[in-house]
Amino acid sequence: MVETQIRTEQLKLWFGKNQVLHDVSLPVYKNIVTAVIGPSGCGKSTLLRCFNRMNYIIADTRIEGKVLLGKEDIYSGRSDVTSIRTRVGMVFQKPNPFPKSIFNNVAYGLQIQGKYPKCEIRDRVEQSLKAAWLWDEVKNRLNCSAMSLSGGQQQRLCIARALANGPEVLLLDEPTSALDPQSTAKIEELCLELKKTVTILIVTHNIAQAGRVSDYTAFMYLGNLVEFDLTEKVFTVPSDKRTEAYLTGVFG
């Protein structure tokens, strides 16, 4: 049986008066890629941002229910949002490296914690870049601006940046929707490699991508978690009509 790394329990979320998530209870298993699919506006990105408390940035957000990282409820008063975010990393839809050097981009998460000596930061930057399959491409120009990289490289840099903190969970919010097919393929392969060390939750518009990279798939519709099961099962014998309709392209 697989171990649960992070999960939501009866999660409800409102933006103002508008309820965006309805009683979502989703387990994310350890060292496994879980994909969240669904039509635009179904709340899948909002759900993803609940896992590292990024929804709090938007005003008027109200959340009920629990998000449990291990045994810790990350929304309880005791938990510290900055340490949650080092344990749950995130990569965004659009590659968003800082306008700093490649090295400083990856080192950022460690530098701000202020507790790592320089030599350790250097080692971890190298490890992270290697883990994100970027090291060979950038090892000779770590001090160049991250903006000089291609889109696909930038996105892998963002993955390396998130990995440097040594997260338990990596949240990927449509990480390839701004990339060309080749870079997309590379990042998908990378996901399969990374899941050996980190739990991955990926939101994607691309159904085929979910099929390629994920072990489990969650289908969301209008803020409800409609179906959650092994990807194989969801794609071949979906138990809900709406899932079947979405996967076969009736809507979406």
Partner 1 sequence: MNARKFKDKLGTSVAWICSGITILFLLVFLGRIIYKGFSVLSWNFVFTGPREAMTEGGIYPALAGTFWLTALAILIAMPLGILTAIYLTSYGKPRWLVRTVRIAINTLAGTPSIIYGLFGMAIFVNLLGFDVSLIAGALTLAILALPMIINATEEALRTVPQDFRDASLALGATPRQTILRVMLPTALPNILTSTIISIGRVAGETAPIMFTAATFFSRQLPKGLSDEVMALPYHIYALMTEGTHPAKQVPIAYGTALVLLILVITISALAIYIRYNIRRKRQW
Q: Footprint of partner 1 on this chain (CB under 8 A)?
A: 52, 54, 57, 82-86, 89-90, 92, 94, 96-100, 108-109, 111-113, 145, 147-148, 158, 161-162, 165
Backbone phi, psi, residue 76, to 5°: -75, 155
**CB-nearer residue toward partner 1: 25 or 113:** 113
Please, which residues have CB within 8 angstroms of residue 214's CB and are 6 or more apart in sequence? 33, 34, 35, 202, 231
CB 249 to partner 1: min, Å: 31
Please, which residues have CB within 8 angstroms of residue 88's CB and are 6 or more apart in sequence? 6, 51, 52, 69, 74, 167, 168, 169, 170, 171
CB 191 to partner 1: min, Å: 18
**CB-nearer residue toward partner 1: 51 or 228:** 51
CB 223 to partner 1: min, Å: 22
CB 112 to partner 1: min, Å: 5
Cβ contact 220:34 at 8 Å = no
**CB-nearer residue toward partner 1: 43 or 109:** 109
Instruction: Find where tokens 């045994």 sit.
Output: 71
**CB-nearer residue toward partner 1: 165 or 243:** 165
Task: Tell me the two tokens of residue 7.
Answer: 């999960």
